[in-house]
Amino acid sequence: MQEGRRILRQNRLRKYARILSDRYNLEVIVKDNIPCASYACTDTTKKIYVQSTVNSDDFMNLILHKGLTLHEIGHILFTSSIAWKDVDKNIASIIEDGRIEEAMSRKFPKSRMYFILINHKLLHSDKIEEETGKKLINHSLSTQVMQLVFRAAKQSTGIPPLPRKVKENIKEKIGENNYNWLVQQTIKSVQAKTDKQSSEITKKIEKKIKEILHMDEYDSFYGMGVLKIVPNAETSIEKVDSTSQKMPDLPKKDEEVIKQVVDELQKEMDEQDEKEEQQLEDDELDFDDIDIEDELTKKIKKNYERAGNNS
């Protein structure tokens, strides 16, 4: 990104972030090589970092910058690191990212569209495929289970649900009761009134996953970042006290919008599944239908006929 444009963008996002968060000492830093592994991060109190080039298209870059800044404002307003200190970082980041996007969407209803966009553009379900070159169905059960939690956590902000085959595979391996429990508890955690309540439910989810998968520690998971907070942020302590970061109430009409978005995504996913299955069936049919001998006979016959006509 051109230097003049970068500074203008930085000023614009800073103004935007200060107004929305009502914190007038908040800094937004737009640059390359931000101190985090993802597109944006925050120390949860004073600074937001945003990667300067997220998309090669200028307009899309601007929209994604706004979306990423909104996400980080969500951490500024709703995340207190102390609530999450005893929870595994992988799972904490998945749930908390879902929770703050949910909370922001309630506080600023228009922000939901931005989350749907950044999640779709930057954290799309196919990202795991792009990164590893293999379909989710071919990944380990632990990755599939974490993807289940991830998608349940972001179900109202734009991450499509799991492909049907992966769902079926997980249900078969861990049982339908465990599957349903994980989805329900994740949604409950994301919609919890306070971050403290959310982290308590998340601890139960963590324990359950470890039990189900017979593991002591989580591996790192493809397709999702760890808690996008600047490491060793001393400043985060000042916000943390006994009062939890509360989730705003959801306006009634938003519930309908969420339902629509989820239904739409589910439909899209099912259609894709069906298309793939049809393709597979067609491939199999093609394979069965080719009778080499018959094809050969036909060719020879044709040649004979042609030869006959010529003579």
Contacts with Zn ion, residue ranges (CB under 5 A): 97, 228
* Cβ 100 to Zn ion shortest distance, Å: 7
* Cβ 148 to Zn ion shortest distance, Å: 19
In this structure, which amino acid lies at residue 260?
Answer: Q
Looking at beta carbons only, is 145 or 153 nearer to Zn ion?
153
Dihedral (Cα; 126, 127, 133, 137), 10-degree rounding? -50
CB under 8 Å to 198, separation ≥6 — which residues?
A: 83, 95, 96, 99, 189, 190, 192
Q: Measured between alpha carbons, how far is residue 52 from residues 116, 159, 227 in Å?
A: 20, 24, 20
Phi, psi of 86 (to 5 degrees): -100, 10
* Cβ 51 to Zn ion shortest distance, Å: 14
* Cβ 14 to Zn ion shortest distance, Å: 19
* Cβ 97 to Zn ion shortest distance, Å: 4
The tokens describing 94, both together, are: 């998945």
Looking at beta carbons only, is 112 or 228 nearer to Zn ion?
228
Looking at beta carbons only, is 159 or 170 nearer to Zn ion?
159
Looking at beta carbons only, is 44 or 143 nearer to Zn ion?
44
Phi, psi of 28 (to 5 degrees): -115, 125
The tokens describing 257, both together, are: 């919008």
Which residue has 């289970």 as its token pair? 145
Beta-bridge mates of residue 30? 50
DSSP 14-75: HHHHHHHHT-TT-EEEEESS-SSSSSEEE-SSSEEEEES-S-SSHHHHHHHHHHHHHHHHHH
Which residue number has the CB closest to Zn ion? 228
Looking at beta carbons only, is 97 or 206 nearer to Zn ion?
97
The tokens describing 89, both together, are: 């970082």
Is there a contact between 12 and 61 (Cβ–Cβ < 8 Å)? Answer: no
Looking at beta carbons only, is 97 or 102 nearer to Zn ion?
97
* Cβ 57 to Zn ion shortest distance, Å: 24
* Cβ 290 to Zn ion shortest distance, Å: 52
Looking at beta carbons only, is 75 or 167 nearer to Zn ion?
75
